[in-house]
Protein backbone atom coordinates (compact mmCIF):
# COMPACT_ATOMS: atom_id res chain seq x y z
CA UNK A 1 0.00 0.00 0.00
CA UNK A 2 0.04 2.31 0.14
CA UNK A 3 0.22 4.57 -1.01
CA UNK A 4 -0.32 7.95 -1.88
CA UNK A 5 2.59 9.30 4.87
CA UNK A 6 -0.52 13.04 21.02
CA UNK A 7 -0.34 14.65 23.68
CA UNK A 8 3.13 16.06 24.10
CA UNK A 9 4.40 17.97 27.09
CA UNK A 10 3.17 16.96 30.52
CA UNK A 11 3.69 13.28 30.98
CA UNK A 12 5.98 13.05 27.95
CA UNK A 13 8.32 10.66 29.69
CA UNK A 14 6.96 7.99 31.99
CA UNK A 15 9.71 6.92 34.36
CA UNK A 16 9.73 3.76 36.38
CA UNK A 17 12.09 3.45 39.32
CA UNK A 18 13.19 -0.11 39.89
CA UNK A 19 15.24 -1.29 42.89
CA UNK A 20 17.51 -4.26 42.56
CA UNK A 21 17.12 -7.21 44.87
CA UNK A 22 20.55 -6.78 46.39
CA UNK A 23 21.60 -3.57 48.02
CA UNK A 24 18.52 -1.61 46.88
CA UNK A 25 20.50 0.02 44.08
CA UNK A 26 18.41 1.95 41.57
CA UNK A 27 18.61 0.75 37.96
CA UNK A 28 18.28 3.13 35.03
CA UNK A 29 14.57 4.06 34.75
CA UNK A 30 12.96 2.73 31.60
CA UNK A 31 10.89 4.94 29.34
CA UNK A 32 7.64 3.51 28.06
CA UNK A 33 6.48 6.31 25.75
CA UNK A 34 7.56 7.12 22.20
CA UNK A 35 6.58 10.31 20.38
CA UNK A 36 6.57 10.06 16.60
CA UNK A 37 6.34 12.57 13.75
CA UNK A 38 3.85 12.08 10.94
CA UNK A 39 3.61 14.26 7.84
CA UNK A 40 -0.20 14.15 7.52
CA UNK A 41 -3.26 13.63 9.73
CA UNK A 42 -4.75 10.19 10.20
CA UNK A 43 -7.54 9.65 7.66
CA UNK A 44 -9.24 6.38 8.58
CA UNK A 45 -8.85 3.29 10.75
CA UNK A 46 -11.33 1.23 8.76
CA UNK A 47 -9.34 -1.54 7.02
CA UNK A 48 -11.78 -1.54 4.11
CA UNK A 49 -11.53 2.18 3.43
CA UNK A 50 -8.07 3.45 4.40
CA UNK A 51 -5.58 3.87 1.56
CA UNK A 52 -2.75 6.14 2.75
CA UNK A 53 0.47 5.24 4.54
CA UNK A 54 -0.32 7.19 7.73
CA UNK A 55 -3.53 5.18 8.16
CA UNK A 56 -1.66 1.98 7.29
CA UNK A 57 0.90 2.65 10.04
CA UNK A 58 -1.77 3.22 12.67
CA UNK A 59 -3.70 0.13 11.59
CA UNK A 60 -0.57 -1.97 11.86
CA UNK A 61 -0.22 -0.69 15.43
CA UNK A 62 -3.79 -1.41 16.52
CA UNK A 63 -4.86 -4.40 14.41
CA UNK A 64 -3.40 -7.83 13.90
CA UNK A 65 -3.95 -9.85 10.76
CA UNK A 66 -3.02 -13.45 10.20
CA UNK A 67 0.66 -12.58 9.80
CA UNK A 68 3.01 -9.74 10.78
CA UNK A 69 6.39 -8.69 9.48
CA UNK A 70 9.31 -8.24 11.84
CA UNK A 71 11.97 -6.63 9.68
CA UNK A 72 11.92 -8.84 6.56
CA UNK A 73 10.69 -11.97 8.31
CA UNK A 74 7.05 -13.03 8.09
CA UNK A 75 5.64 -14.47 11.33
CA UNK A 76 2.21 -15.75 12.45
CA UNK A 77 0.18 -13.17 14.39
CA UNK A 78 -3.51 -14.01 14.76
CA UNK A 79 -2.59 -17.30 13.10
CA UNK A 80 -1.09 -19.75 15.59
CA UNK A 81 1.31 -21.02 12.92
CA UNK A 82 1.98 -20.66 9.22
CA UNK A 83 -0.83 -21.87 6.98
CA UNK A 84 -1.30 -25.41 5.75
CA UNK A 85 -1.17 -25.16 1.95
CA UNK A 86 -2.64 -27.69 -0.45
CA UNK A 87 -0.46 -29.44 -3.03
CA UNK A 88 -1.80 -27.27 -5.86
CA UNK A 89 -1.20 -24.12 -3.72
CA UNK A 90 -4.80 -23.01 -4.13
CA UNK A 91 -6.17 -23.77 -0.65
CA UNK A 92 -4.83 -22.24 2.55
CA UNK A 93 -5.98 -23.35 5.99
CA UNK A 94 -5.22 -21.09 8.94
CA UNK A 95 -5.54 -22.01 12.60
CA UNK A 96 -6.10 -18.97 14.82
CA UNK A 97 -4.79 -18.50 18.33
CA UNK A 98 -7.39 -19.65 20.84
CA UNK A 99 -6.45 -16.90 23.30
CA UNK A 100 -6.69 -14.05 20.78
CA UNK A 101 -9.17 -11.39 21.93
CA UNK A 102 -10.52 -8.02 20.94
CA UNK A 103 -10.08 -5.05 23.25
CA UNK A 104 -13.70 -5.55 24.39
CA UNK A 105 -12.79 -9.03 25.64
CA UNK A 106 -14.48 -11.03 22.89
CA UNK A 107 -12.59 -13.77 21.07
CA UNK A 108 -11.07 -13.03 17.66
CA UNK A 109 -12.71 -15.64 15.45
CA UNK A 110 -12.35 -16.98 11.94
CA UNK A 111 -15.75 -15.45 11.23
CA UNK A 112 -14.31 -11.98 11.96
CA UNK A 113 -11.97 -12.51 9.01
CA UNK A 114 -14.73 -13.86 6.80
CA UNK A 115 -16.95 -10.86 7.56
CA UNK A 116 -14.14 -8.33 7.03
CA UNK A 117 -13.07 -9.81 3.70
CA UNK A 118 -16.61 -10.12 2.37
CA UNK A 119 -17.25 -6.53 3.37
CA UNK A 120 -14.10 -5.26 1.64
CA UNK A 121 -14.76 -7.10 -1.63
CA UNK A 122 -18.42 -6.04 -1.75
CA UNK A 123 -18.68 -3.26 -4.38
CA UNK A 124 -21.13 -1.41 -2.14
CA UNK A 125 -18.28 -0.81 0.32
CA UNK A 126 -16.20 0.92 -2.37
CA UNK A 127 -12.93 -0.27 -0.88
CA UNK A 128 -9.90 1.14 -2.76
CA UNK A 129 -8.13 -2.15 -2.06
CA UNK A 130 -10.90 -4.51 -3.19
CA UNK A 131 -8.66 -5.68 -6.02
CA UNK A 132 -6.31 -7.25 -3.45
CA UNK A 133 -8.85 -10.09 -3.13
CA UNK A 134 -9.03 -10.81 -6.87
CA UNK A 135 -7.21 -14.13 -6.61
CA UNK A 136 -9.71 -15.52 -4.10
CA UNK A 137 -12.47 -17.66 -5.60
CA UNK A 138 -15.45 -15.57 -6.85
CA UNK A 139 -13.89 -12.23 -5.82
CA UNK A 140 -13.85 -10.76 -9.33
CA UNK A 141 -17.45 -11.78 -10.03
CA UNK A 142 -18.47 -10.21 -6.71
CA UNK A 143 -16.60 -7.01 -7.54
CA UNK A 144 -18.40 -6.87 -10.89
CA UNK A 145 -21.75 -7.12 -9.12
CA UNK A 146 -22.52 -10.54 -10.62
CA UNK A 147 -22.43 -12.51 -7.39
CA UNK A 148 -23.16 -12.07 -3.70
CA UNK A 149 -20.21 -11.36 -1.39
CA UNK A 150 -21.38 -14.35 0.65
CA UNK A 151 -19.89 -16.57 -2.06
CA UNK A 152 -16.32 -15.33 -1.59
CA UNK A 153 -13.97 -18.30 -1.33
CA UNK A 154 -13.32 -17.92 2.38
CA UNK A 155 -15.08 -19.86 5.12
CA UNK A 156 -14.87 -20.31 8.90
CA UNK A 157 -14.70 -24.09 9.41
CA UNK A 158 -14.66 -23.62 13.19
CA UNK A 159 -14.25 -20.69 15.57
CA UNK A 160 -10.48 -20.84 15.05
CA UNK A 161 -10.13 -22.43 11.60
CA UNK A 162 -10.19 -20.35 8.44
CA UNK A 163 -10.04 -21.78 4.93
CA UNK A 164 -9.24 -19.69 1.86
CA UNK A 165 -9.57 -20.96 -1.72
CA UNK A 166 -7.69 -19.26 -4.56
CA UNK A 167 -8.34 -19.44 -8.28
CA UNK A 168 -4.66 -20.14 -8.91
CA UNK A 169 -1.32 -20.37 -7.16
CA UNK A 170 -0.20 -16.94 -5.92
CA UNK A 171 3.48 -16.93 -4.88
CA UNK A 172 3.15 -13.81 -2.73
CA UNK A 173 -0.27 -14.51 -1.19
CA UNK A 174 1.00 -14.91 2.38
CA UNK A 175 2.93 -11.61 2.11
CA UNK A 176 -0.26 -9.89 0.95
CA UNK A 177 -1.99 -10.92 4.17
CA UNK A 178 -0.03 -8.26 6.06
CA UNK A 179 -2.01 -5.59 4.18
CA UNK A 180 -4.49 -3.90 6.50
CA UNK A 181 -7.42 -4.63 4.17
CA UNK A 182 -7.02 -8.29 5.22
CA UNK A 183 -7.35 -7.45 8.93
CA UNK A 184 -10.41 -8.74 10.81
CA UNK A 185 -13.14 -6.43 12.10
CA UNK A 186 -15.94 -6.94 14.59
CA UNK A 187 -19.28 -7.04 12.84
CA UNK A 188 -21.04 -5.64 15.92
CA UNK A 189 -18.98 -2.45 15.70
CA UNK A 190 -19.63 -1.92 12.01
CA UNK A 191 -23.35 -2.53 12.51
CA UNK A 192 -23.48 -0.18 15.49
CA UNK A 193 -21.67 2.77 13.89
CA UNK A 194 -22.42 2.30 10.20
CA UNK A 195 -20.72 4.91 8.02
CA UNK A 196 -19.04 6.41 11.10
CA UNK A 197 -17.10 3.22 11.75
CA UNK A 198 -13.37 3.89 11.62
CA UNK A 199 -13.70 7.69 11.72
CA UNK A 200 -12.84 8.12 15.42
CA UNK A 201 -11.37 6.05 18.22
CA UNK A 202 -14.75 5.68 19.92
CA UNK A 203 -16.14 3.57 17.05
CA UNK A 204 -13.45 0.90 17.14
CA UNK A 205 -12.20 -2.21 18.91
CA UNK A 206 -8.67 -3.52 18.51
CA UNK A 207 -6.82 -6.82 18.46
CA UNK A 208 -3.28 -5.52 17.88
CA UNK A 209 -0.41 -4.45 20.15
CA UNK A 210 -2.02 -1.07 20.84
CA UNK A 211 -5.40 0.56 21.29
CA UNK A 212 -6.22 3.88 19.68
CA UNK A 213 -7.38 5.85 22.72
CA UNK A 214 -7.34 9.47 21.58
CA UNK A 215 -8.31 10.37 18.04
CA UNK A 216 -11.15 12.75 17.21
CA UNK A 217 -11.13 12.02 13.49
CA UNK A 218 -9.85 13.59 10.27
CA UNK A 219 -7.97 16.80 10.80
CA UNK A 220 -6.70 15.93 14.27
CA UNK A 221 -3.04 16.87 14.56
CA UNK A 222 -2.31 14.33 17.30
CA UNK A 223 -3.48 10.86 18.21
CA UNK A 224 -2.55 8.46 20.99
CA UNK A 225 -2.18 4.69 21.21
CA UNK A 226 -1.79 2.77 24.47
CA UNK A 227 -0.67 -0.79 25.05
CA UNK A 228 -3.46 -3.31 24.49
CA UNK A 229 -3.55 -5.75 27.44
CA UNK A 230 -5.72 -8.20 25.48
CA UNK A 231 -3.14 -8.62 22.69
CA UNK A 232 -1.96 -12.23 22.67
CA UNK A 233 1.68 -11.27 23.23
CA UNK A 234 1.17 -8.13 25.30
CA UNK A 235 3.85 -9.33 27.72
CA UNK A 236 6.45 -8.75 24.98
CA UNK A 237 5.26 -5.22 24.11
CA UNK A 238 7.52 -2.85 26.05
CA UNK A 239 6.17 0.55 25.00
CA UNK A 240 3.01 1.53 26.85
CA UNK A 241 2.20 4.57 24.76
CA UNK A 242 2.78 5.70 21.17
CA UNK A 243 1.85 9.27 20.33
CA UNK A 244 1.76 10.68 16.81
CA UNK A 245 2.04 14.37 15.99
CA UNK A 246 1.64 15.99 12.59
CA UNK A 247 4.71 18.08 11.75
CA UNK A 248 5.15 19.23 8.14
CA UNK A 249 8.33 21.26 8.60
CA UNK A 250 11.71 19.54 8.99
CA UNK A 251 13.09 22.55 10.83
CA UNK A 252 10.25 22.42 13.33
CA UNK A 253 10.69 18.67 13.70
CA UNK A 254 14.37 19.13 14.58
CA UNK A 255 13.45 21.74 17.16
CA UNK A 256 10.90 19.42 18.78
CA UNK A 257 13.42 16.56 18.74
CA UNK A 258 16.05 18.67 20.51
CA UNK A 259 13.46 19.68 23.10
CA UNK A 260 12.66 16.04 23.77
CA UNK A 261 9.11 16.35 22.45
CA UNK A 262 9.71 13.92 19.58
CA UNK A 263 11.72 10.69 19.56
CA UNK A 264 11.49 9.79 15.88
CA UNK A 265 11.45 12.31 13.03
CA UNK A 266 11.90 12.46 9.25
CA UNK A 267 13.88 15.32 7.70
CA UNK A 268 14.68 16.53 4.21
CA UNK A 269 16.32 19.39 2.33
CA UNK A 270 18.64 21.72 4.21
CA UNK A 271 17.60 20.19 7.53
CA UNK A 272 19.51 17.02 6.68
CA UNK A 273 22.81 18.90 6.97
CA UNK A 274 22.06 19.64 10.62
CA UNK A 275 20.55 16.22 11.22
CA UNK A 276 23.66 14.38 9.96
CA UNK A 277 25.63 15.79 12.88
CA UNK A 278 23.18 14.40 15.44
CA UNK A 279 23.42 11.08 17.23
CA UNK A 280 20.62 8.88 15.98
CA UNK A 281 20.73 10.08 12.37
CA UNK A 282 20.29 7.33 9.79
CA UNK A 283 18.85 6.74 6.33
CA UNK A 284 16.23 4.07 5.76
CA UNK A 285 15.93 2.84 2.18
CA UNK A 286 12.23 2.29 1.56
CA UNK A 287 10.33 0.20 -0.97
CA UNK A 288 8.49 3.38 -1.97
CA UNK A 289 8.36 4.84 -5.47
CA UNK A 290 7.65 8.53 -6.00
CA UNK A 291 6.34 9.36 -9.47
CA UNK A 292 4.22 11.67 -11.59
CA UNK A 293 0.80 10.54 -12.78
CA UNK A 294 -0.13 11.92 -16.22
CA UNK A 295 -3.81 12.51 -16.85
CA UNK A 296 -4.07 12.05 -20.62
CA UNK A 297 -7.87 12.19 -20.52
CA UNK A 298 -7.81 15.67 -19.00
CA UNK A 299 -4.88 17.06 -21.02
CA UNK A 300 -5.13 15.96 -24.69
CA UNK A 301 -1.52 16.96 -25.45
CA UNK A 302 -0.35 14.29 -23.00
CA UNK A 303 -1.69 11.62 -25.35
CA UNK A 304 1.30 12.38 -27.54
CA UNK A 305 4.22 10.08 -26.75
CA UNK A 306 6.84 12.73 -27.54
CA UNK A 307 5.24 15.27 -25.22
CA UNK A 308 5.13 12.76 -22.36
CA UNK A 309 8.71 11.70 -22.95
CA UNK A 310 9.87 15.31 -23.05
CA UNK A 311 8.47 15.82 -19.55
CA UNK A 312 10.32 12.75 -18.27
CA UNK A 313 13.66 13.82 -19.79
CA UNK A 314 13.39 17.40 -18.52
CA UNK A 315 13.69 16.29 -14.88
CA UNK A 316 17.16 15.88 -13.38
CA UNK A 317 16.42 13.25 -10.74
CA UNK A 318 19.93 13.29 -9.30
CA UNK A 319 19.72 17.07 -8.99
CA UNK A 320 16.35 16.86 -7.28
CA UNK A 321 17.73 14.44 -4.71
CA UNK A 322 20.97 16.38 -4.20
CA UNK A 323 19.61 19.93 -4.13
CA UNK A 324 16.11 19.49 -2.69
CA UNK A 325 15.62 16.22 -0.84
CA UNK A 326 19.07 15.44 0.55
CA UNK A 327 17.63 12.37 2.27
CA UNK A 328 19.38 9.40 0.67
CA UNK A 329 16.73 8.78 -1.98
CA UNK A 330 17.82 7.15 -5.26
CA UNK A 331 16.77 7.98 -8.87
CA UNK A 332 14.22 5.60 -10.37
CA UNK A 333 14.37 4.32 -13.92
CA UNK A 334 11.17 2.26 -13.76
CA UNK A 335 8.33 2.21 -11.25
CA UNK A 336 9.73 -0.77 -9.30
CA UNK A 337 12.26 0.08 -6.51
CA UNK A 338 15.61 -1.62 -6.12
CA UNK A 339 16.58 -4.04 -3.36
CA UNK A 340 13.10 -5.54 -3.04
CA UNK A 341 12.76 -8.49 -5.45
CA UNK A 342 15.39 -10.82 -6.90
CA UNK A 343 15.57 -13.55 -9.50
CA UNK A 344 15.47 -16.87 -7.64
CA UNK A 345 17.91 -18.45 -10.09
CA UNK A 346 20.44 -15.73 -10.93
CA UNK A 347 20.02 -13.45 -7.91
CA UNK A 348 19.60 -10.43 -10.20
CA UNK A 349 17.82 -7.40 -8.78
CA UNK A 350 14.53 -6.91 -10.66
CA UNK A 351 14.92 -3.13 -10.82
CA UNK A 352 18.38 -3.40 -12.36
CA UNK A 353 17.23 -5.94 -14.93
CA UNK A 354 14.17 -3.89 -15.84
CA UNK A 355 16.27 -0.76 -16.36
CA UNK A 356 18.34 -2.45 -19.06
CA UNK A 357 17.21 -1.07 -22.42
CA UNK A 358 14.78 1.54 -21.06
CA UNK A 359 17.04 3.88 -19.07
CA UNK A 360 16.91 6.45 -21.89
CA UNK A 361 13.26 7.13 -21.05
CA UNK A 362 14.19 8.45 -17.61
CA UNK A 363 17.69 9.88 -18.16
CA UNK A 364 17.95 13.66 -17.86
CA UNK A 365 18.60 15.22 -21.28
CA UNK A 366 17.19 18.73 -21.61
CA UNK A 367 18.35 19.25 -25.19
CA UNK A 368 16.60 16.10 -26.39
CA UNK A 369 13.60 16.90 -24.21
CA UNK A 370 13.14 20.28 -25.89
CA UNK A 371 13.33 18.71 -29.35
CA UNK A 372 10.74 16.09 -28.40
CA UNK A 373 8.49 18.74 -26.87
CA UNK A 374 8.65 20.89 -29.99
CA UNK A 375 7.89 17.93 -32.26
CA UNK A 376 5.16 16.58 -30.01
CA UNK A 377 3.37 19.90 -29.72
CA UNK A 378 3.56 20.39 -33.49
CA UNK A 379 1.94 17.00 -33.96
CA UNK A 380 -0.93 18.03 -31.67
CA UNK A 381 -1.39 21.30 -33.55
CA UNK A 382 -0.83 23.32 -30.38
CA UNK A 383 1.81 25.86 -29.45
CA UNK A 384 0.92 26.35 -25.76
CA UNK A 385 0.58 23.84 -22.95
CA UNK A 386 -0.63 24.64 -19.44
CA UNK A 387 -0.10 22.07 -16.71
CA UNK A 388 -1.10 22.07 -13.05
CA UNK A 389 0.81 19.71 -10.79
CA UNK A 390 -0.75 18.72 -7.48
CA UNK A 391 1.16 17.27 -4.54
CA UNK A 392 1.37 17.16 -0.75
CA UNK A 393 1.67 20.26 1.40
CA UNK A 394 4.73 19.22 3.42
CA UNK A 395 7.91 21.31 3.16
CA UNK A 396 9.63 18.53 1.22
CA UNK A 397 6.74 18.09 -1.23
CA UNK A 398 6.43 21.84 -1.77
CA UNK A 399 10.13 22.11 -2.57
CA UNK A 400 9.85 19.15 -4.95
CA UNK A 401 6.87 20.73 -6.71
CA UNK A 402 8.82 23.94 -7.19
CA UNK A 403 11.77 21.98 -8.60
CA UNK A 404 9.46 20.20 -11.03
CA UNK A 405 7.91 23.51 -11.99
CA UNK A 406 11.31 24.95 -12.93
CA UNK A 407 12.35 21.76 -14.72
CA UNK A 408 9.26 21.51 -16.91
CA UNK A 409 9.19 25.24 -17.64
CA UNK A 410 12.64 24.84 -19.22
CA UNK A 411 10.95 23.05 -22.13
CA UNK A 412 9.55 26.35 -23.40
CA UNK A 413 10.86 27.73 -26.69
CA UNK A 414 9.55 30.15 -29.33
CA UNK A 415 7.58 27.47 -31.23
CA UNK A 416 6.15 25.73 -28.17
CA UNK A 417 5.67 27.00 -24.63
CA UNK A 418 4.62 25.39 -21.38
CA UNK A 419 3.21 27.07 -18.30
CA UNK A 420 3.42 25.05 -15.10
CA UNK A 421 1.43 25.74 -11.95
CA UNK A 422 1.88 23.82 -8.70
CA UNK A 423 -0.79 23.25 -6.07
CA UNK A 424 0.17 21.82 -2.66
CA UNK A 425 -2.81 20.10 -1.02
CA UNK A 426 -3.68 18.48 2.28
CA UNK A 427 -3.86 14.69 2.20
CA UNK A 428 -7.67 14.76 2.31
CA UNK A 429 -7.94 17.17 -0.61
CA UNK A 430 -5.22 15.43 -2.61
CA UNK A 431 -6.85 12.01 -2.27
CA UNK A 432 -10.18 13.50 -3.30
CA UNK A 433 -8.62 15.05 -6.42
CA UNK A 434 -6.88 11.79 -7.33
CA UNK A 435 -10.00 9.67 -6.91
CA UNK A 436 -12.06 11.96 -9.11
CA UNK A 437 -9.33 12.47 -11.74
CA UNK A 438 -9.31 16.19 -11.06
CA UNK A 439 -5.65 16.83 -11.91
CA UNK A 440 -3.27 17.30 -14.86
CA UNK A 441 -0.15 15.88 -13.23
CA UNK A 442 0.05 14.48 -9.73
CA UNK A 443 3.16 14.02 -7.61
CA UNK A 444 2.41 10.86 -5.70
CA UNK A 445 4.05 7.82 -4.13
CA UNK A 446 3.30 4.16 -3.64
CA UNK A 447 4.67 1.97 -0.87
CA UNK A 448 5.02 -1.75 -1.49
CA UNK A 449 2.22 -3.70 0.16
CA UNK A 450 4.36 -6.83 -0.21
CA UNK A 451 7.88 -7.37 -1.63
CA UNK A 452 6.96 -8.20 -5.21
CA UNK A 453 6.87 -6.11 -8.44
CA UNK A 454 3.16 -6.91 -8.79
CA UNK A 455 2.31 -4.49 -5.97
CA UNK A 456 3.52 -1.65 -8.26
CA UNK A 457 2.62 -3.03 -11.68
CA UNK A 458 -0.97 -3.81 -10.68
CA UNK A 459 -1.53 -0.08 -10.14
CA UNK A 460 -1.56 0.64 -13.87
CA UNK A 461 -3.80 -2.18 -15.03
CA UNK A 462 -7.10 -1.17 -16.61
CA UNK A 463 -9.75 -0.36 -14.03
CA UNK A 464 -7.49 -0.51 -10.97
CA UNK A 465 -8.92 1.87 -8.36
CA UNK A 466 -5.47 3.41 -7.83
CA UNK A 467 -4.92 3.96 -11.56
CA UNK A 468 -6.00 7.57 -11.09
CA UNK A 469 -5.00 8.73 -14.57
CA UNK A 470 -6.94 5.88 -16.20
CA UNK A 471 -4.11 4.69 -18.45
CA UNK A 472 -4.98 1.47 -20.29
CA UNK A 473 -2.96 -0.89 -22.47
CA UNK A 474 -4.17 -4.35 -23.52
CA UNK A 475 -0.70 -5.88 -23.85
CA UNK A 476 0.30 -4.55 -20.44
CA UNK A 477 -2.82 -6.03 -18.86
CA UNK A 478 -2.08 -9.38 -20.49
CA UNK A 479 1.48 -9.46 -19.15
CA UNK A 480 0.50 -8.56 -15.59
CA UNK A 481 -2.37 -11.03 -15.71
CA UNK A 482 -0.12 -13.83 -17.02
CA UNK A 483 2.34 -13.24 -14.17
CA UNK A 484 -0.50 -13.83 -11.75
CA UNK A 485 -2.34 -16.64 -13.54
CA UNK A 486 -0.92 -19.00 -16.16
CA UNK A 487 2.72 -18.26 -15.28
CA UNK A 488 2.29 -17.80 -11.52
CA UNK A 489 3.86 -21.18 -10.74
CA UNK A 490 6.73 -20.86 -13.22
CA UNK A 491 9.52 -18.73 -11.76
CA UNK A 492 11.23 -18.08 -15.11
CA UNK A 493 8.09 -17.23 -17.09
CA UNK A 494 6.72 -15.04 -14.31
CA UNK A 495 10.00 -13.10 -14.11
CA UNK A 496 9.89 -12.37 -17.85
CA UNK A 497 6.20 -11.35 -17.70
CA UNK A 498 6.86 -8.85 -14.94
CA UNK A 499 10.01 -7.56 -16.63
CA UNK A 500 8.22 -7.06 -19.96
CA UNK A 501 5.33 -5.27 -18.24
CA UNK A 502 7.61 -2.91 -16.35
CA UNK A 503 9.57 -2.06 -19.49
CA UNK A 504 6.40 -1.54 -21.54
CA UNK A 505 5.11 0.86 -18.87
CA UNK A 506 8.40 2.76 -19.00
CA UNK A 507 8.62 2.92 -22.82
CA UNK A 508 5.01 4.16 -22.97
CA UNK A 509 5.80 6.91 -20.43
CA UNK A 510 2.45 6.10 -18.88
CA UNK A 511 3.88 7.49 -15.68
CA UNK A 512 7.14 9.28 -14.83
CA UNK A 513 9.22 7.52 -12.14
CA UNK A 514 11.23 10.01 -10.08
CA UNK A 515 12.94 8.46 -7.07
CA UNK A 516 12.98 5.62 -4.59
CA UNK A 517 12.42 7.08 -1.16
CA UNK A 518 15.29 7.12 1.28
CA UNK A 519 14.02 8.45 4.58
CA UNK A 520 16.52 10.54 6.49
CA UNK A 521 15.51 10.03 10.09
CA UNK A 522 16.69 11.01 13.53
CA UNK A 523 15.77 8.61 16.29
CA UNK A 524 16.33 8.71 20.01
CA UNK A 525 19.54 6.63 20.27
CA UNK A 526 18.14 4.84 23.32
CA UNK A 527 15.27 3.42 21.23
CA UNK A 528 15.91 -0.08 19.88
CA UNK A 529 14.33 -2.89 17.81
CA UNK A 530 12.25 -0.51 15.76
CA UNK A 531 12.10 -2.45 12.49
CA UNK A 532 11.09 -0.99 9.17
CA UNK A 533 9.15 -3.66 7.30
CA UNK A 534 9.11 -4.32 3.51
CA UNK A 535 5.89 -2.28 3.31
CA UNK A 536 7.64 0.80 4.73
CA UNK A 537 5.91 0.59 8.11
CA UNK A 538 7.44 0.52 11.58
CA UNK A 539 6.81 -2.36 13.97
CA UNK A 540 6.46 -0.52 17.26
CA UNK A 541 5.45 -3.78 18.96
CA UNK A 542 9.14 -4.74 19.09
CA UNK A 543 10.52 -1.38 20.21
CA UNK A 544 12.05 -0.71 23.61
CA UNK A 545 14.37 1.76 25.30
CA UNK A 546 17.84 0.73 26.37
CA UNK A 547 17.75 -0.53 29.92
CA UNK A 548 14.35 -2.23 29.67
pLDDT in tens, 229-279: 999 999 999 999 999 999 999 999 999 999 999 999 999 888 998 999 999
CB count within 10 Å of CB 88 equals 10
The pLDDT score that the predictor gives to residue 324 is 94
Give mean pLDDT, residues 125-134: 94
Q: Which of 131, 175, 53 is nearest to 460 (CA)?
A: 131
Instruction: Compute the residue count for the chain.
Output: 548
The pLDDT score that the predictor gives to residue 484 is 87
Query: Residue 87 to residues 392, 406, 432: CA-CA distances in angstroms?
Result: 47, 57, 44
Instruction: Measure the CA–CA gap between 364 and 318, rounded to whole angstroms.
Output: 9
**For all residues of the chain together, what is the average pLDDT?**
92
The pLDDT score that the predictor gives to residue 175 is 93
The pLDDT score that the predictor gives to residue 284 is 87
pLDDT-derived band of residue 534, with 50, 70 and 90 as boundaries?
confident
pTM: 0.81
Helix (H, G, I), strand (E, B) or coil at 374: helix
Give mean pLDDT, residues 209-238: 96
Dihedral of CA atoms 400, 37, 201, 542 in degrees, nearest 10, equals 120
Q: Say whether pLDDT at 29 is over 60.
A: no
Residue pair 215/42 in contact by the 8 Å Cβ criterion: yes
DSSP state of 488: T
Alpha helices in 95-243 (DSSP H): 110-121, 139-143, 173-176, 187-193
Give mean pLDDT, residues 529-542: 85
CA atoms 187, 191, 192, 195: torsion sign = positive
Amino acid sequence: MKKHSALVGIGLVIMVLVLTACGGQAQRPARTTVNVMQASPLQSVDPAHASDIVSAQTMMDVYSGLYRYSNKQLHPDMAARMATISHDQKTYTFHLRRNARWSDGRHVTAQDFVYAWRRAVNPATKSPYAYAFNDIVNAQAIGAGKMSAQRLGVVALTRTTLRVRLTKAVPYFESMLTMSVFDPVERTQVTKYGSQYGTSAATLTFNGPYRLTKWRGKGAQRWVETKNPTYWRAHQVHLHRVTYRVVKSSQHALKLFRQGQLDDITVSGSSTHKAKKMTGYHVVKQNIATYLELNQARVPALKNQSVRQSLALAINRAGLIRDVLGDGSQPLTTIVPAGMFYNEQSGADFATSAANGVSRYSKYDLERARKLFKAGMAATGQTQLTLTVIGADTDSAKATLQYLQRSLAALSQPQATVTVKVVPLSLTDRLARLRTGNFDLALTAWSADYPDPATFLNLFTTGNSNNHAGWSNTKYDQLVNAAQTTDAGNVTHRWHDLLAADQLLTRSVATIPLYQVGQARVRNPQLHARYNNPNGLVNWATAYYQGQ
